[in-house]
Amino acid sequence: MPFSRRGFMKWAASLSAFAAASRARADVLPFFMESAGTQFRPALLPSQEEVWEHVKWMAQLGPKFTGNKAHTEFVEFLATQLQSLGLEITRDRYTFPRWEAKRWGIGIQPASGQPFKVPVTSYWPYSGQTPPEGVTAELVDGGTHPAYRLSGVEGKIVFVDIANEPGAWGEMYQPWGVLPAGTALPATHSMLRSPVNKLAPFHKAGAAAVILGWTNVSDANAADQYAPFGSALQNIPALYVGRESGARMKAMAGSGAKATVILEAGTFPDAPTETIIATLPGSSADEVIIVNTHTDGSNALQENGGIGIVALAKYFSQIPKAERRRTMVFVLSTGHFANSYVPSIRGVIAKHPELIQKTVAALTVEHLGSREWVDDAALKNYKPTGRDEWVLALTRLKSTGDVMLDAFQGLGDRRIAVINPVKGGFFGEGNALAAAGVPTAAFMAAPDYLCAASPNGCIDKLSAELMHVQLQALAKALHRMDAMSAAELKGQNG
């Protein structure tokens, strides 16, 4: 380097007045004022084309539901990529009762008139299963969630109205900052997910099957939603239908009409699945930065954190070890979509306590490159707005909040809210790390299509350019974390 770090910092200090005038925040040093060892080096990050080719390949595998063939192939690809960079690979193996839907449908026999088939928007994963011919029973009205009517449903097929409930961001989150400057955090935001998390009340009441009808989203938006993911086997088959089909079925419920529900599924006891832990040694092995994501998911947005982590690992592996202060551990966990059986990042915390003890910071990377899609007012069309989807960077600490804000400054109309989840909210795969006391920033987008297992993997809703921009910012954030002391990362500046 042309300067010692001490000399360089003296020079940087002489520019403090300029920095204060040119930046709204002066509590975090801008990247151009850092030592060469902590500067972002764009040429070392894999190109946009290279990253996107990996995303396209991944999407073509199909949904990577925990432990299925596509997921296993993807995990092996990620492990091979990381090993080829010279990282040390450790595998944590789990087994669980994997469930996989094969065939589903609904038929209606009215009390009078011709039978007809009802379009199904999606099935409830791990709900239950039927024989090939399905189950046939009287169709009854079970009310609207959460005010169920369960008396007299034994042996019947129960129809229930459900509505998507937008997240109350204004109540859940306290912003550390929102970009672009002058942008306000939305009071509410829609991430489509079923409000019904358990089918136990219907099973206990003796119902033969459950049909859930969306009331406030378009059929295109509801299509292929894998919700609620992560549930244990419910022992009662359940399917989802769209608004118009639901209204038609509700009108027929209790009139003597019969429904046939088909949900054929395979179950695979003791199915294997693995978490990958890849270690890139730094100058010190006594302090660690964890960069983590999950590998299982329903589409190219849910699953692309693994592609992002490979790109970040490749970037930092090219920086001389002497210029990397800490060891980086890249964790690609399994079980996000089967967390009733497989502990995901919680398993890493339980199995590797020595790793967590050494960890001074964590960056969770999920859901990169998301573009905004919304329903129109008539709930007839689900379409793009032409804008990037909102991204959340969740952290309970101002120290890591400032890191994320600094990394994403100057990126134009890239909407990112750096927030403290003061009431509920979610850290995703970063939640358990934050709960374990690790200073954690969790980066993710949460559009309506987050859990949609669309045939094309929702790749039409992603942006290669946006994903690459986000990876650049995340590399900058990791540089900043590596440059800060453990006390600074915890917000202890004294």
**Three-state SS string across the chain, please?**
CCCCHHHHHHHHHHCHHHHHHHCCCCCCCCHHHCCHHHCCCHHHCCCHHHHHHHHHHHHHCCCECCCCHHHHHHHHHHHHHHHHCCCEEEEEEEEEEEEEEEEEEEEEECCCCCCEEECCCEECCCCCCCCCCCEEEEEEEEEECCEECCCCCCCCEEEEEECCCCECHHHHEEEEEEECCCCCCCCCECCCCCCCCCCHHHHHCCCCEEEEEECCCCHHHHCCECCCCCCCCCCCCEEEECHHHHHHHHHHCCCCCEEEEEEEEEEEEEEEEEEEEEEECCCEEEEEEEEEEECCECCHHHHCHHHHHHHHHHHHHCCCHHHCCEEEEEEEECCCCCCCCCCCHHHHHHHCHHHHHHEEEEEEECCCCEEEEEECCCCCCEEEEEEECCEEEECCCHHHHHHHHHHCCCCCCCCEEEEEECCCCCCHHHHHHHHCCCCEEEEEECCHHHHECCCCCCHHHECHHHHHHHHHHHHHHHHHHHHCCHHHHCCCCC
pTM above 0.85, yes or no: yes
For residues 431 and 346, is the Cβ–Cβ distance under 8 A? no
Question: Which of 267, 297, 314 lies at the terminal end of a domain, its last residue?
Answer: 267
Question: Which of 221, 242, 267 lies at the terminal end of a domain, its last residue?
Answer: 267
Instruction: Looking at the structure, tell me whether residues 34 and 144 fall in a common domain.
Output: no
Instruction: Looking at the structure, tell me whether residues 224 and 282 fall in a common domain.
Output: no
Give a yes or no: residue 177 inside a domain: no
Give a yes or no: residue 178 inside a domain: no
Give a yes or no: residue 209 inside a domain: yes
Q: How many CB atoms lie within 10 A of CB 463?
A: 17
Cα(324)–Cα(458) distance, rounded to whole angstroms? 36
For residues 284 and 325, is the Cβ–Cβ distance under 8 A? yes
Q: The domain that contains 166 carries what CATH number?
A: 3.50.30.30
Instruction: Looking at the structure, tell me whether residues 403 and 436 fall in a common domain.
Output: yes
The boundaries of the domain holding residue 166 are: 98-172+187-267
Q: Number of structural domains, the chain?
A: 2
At 89, phi and psi to the nearest 5?
Answer: -105, 130
For residues 246 and 139, is the Cβ–Cβ distance under 8 A? no
Instruction: Looking at the structure, tell me whether residues 58 and 154 fall in a common domain.
Output: no
Token pair of 363, please? Answer: 């960056």
Instruction: Looking at the structure, tell me whether residues 90 and 138 fall in a common domain.
Output: no
pLDDT of residue 2: 38
Between strands 391-394 and 284-294, the pairing is unpaired
Instruction: Looking at the structure, tell me whether residues 319 and 261 fall in a common domain.
Output: no
Contacts of 474 (CB under 8 A, 6+ apart): 308, 312, 363, 365, 407, 443
For residues 358 and 289, is the Cβ–Cβ distance under 8 A? no
Question: Which of 267, 290, 322 lies at the terminal end of a domain, its last residue?
Answer: 267
CA dihedral 467, 344, 285, 30 (to 10 degrees): 30
pLDDT of residue 493: 65
For residues 158 and 152, is the Cβ–Cβ distance under 8 A? no
**What are the 10-residue block averages of pLDDT along the chain, 494 residues in total?**
37 35 35 55 98 98 98 98 98 98 98 96 97 98 96 97 95 95 93 94 98 98 93 97 97 96 97 98 97 98 97 98 96 97 97 98 98 97 96 96 95 92 86 95 97 97 98 97 96 72
CA angle 244, 254, 159 (to 5 degrees): 50
Token pair of 344, please? Answer: 């995901």
Classify residue 367 as exposed, middle or buried by CB count within 10 Å of its CB (0-12, 13-18, 19+): buried
Block residue for tokens 């590998």: 295
Q: The domain that contains 277 carries what CATH number?
A: 3.40.630.10
Classify residue 215 as exposed, middle or buried by CB count within 10 Å of its CB (0-12, 13-18, 19+): middle
CA-nearest of 234, 322, 309 to 279 is 309
pLDDT of residue 37: 55
Give a yes or no: residue 54 inside a domain: yes
Instruction: Looking at the structure, tell me whether residues 365 and 472 fall in a common domain.
Output: yes
pLDDT of residue 442: 97
Query: Chain-centre distance of CA 453, in angstroms?
Result: 13
Q: How much is the CA Rg of the chain, to the nearest whole Å? A: 24
Give a yes or no: residue 181 inside a domain: no
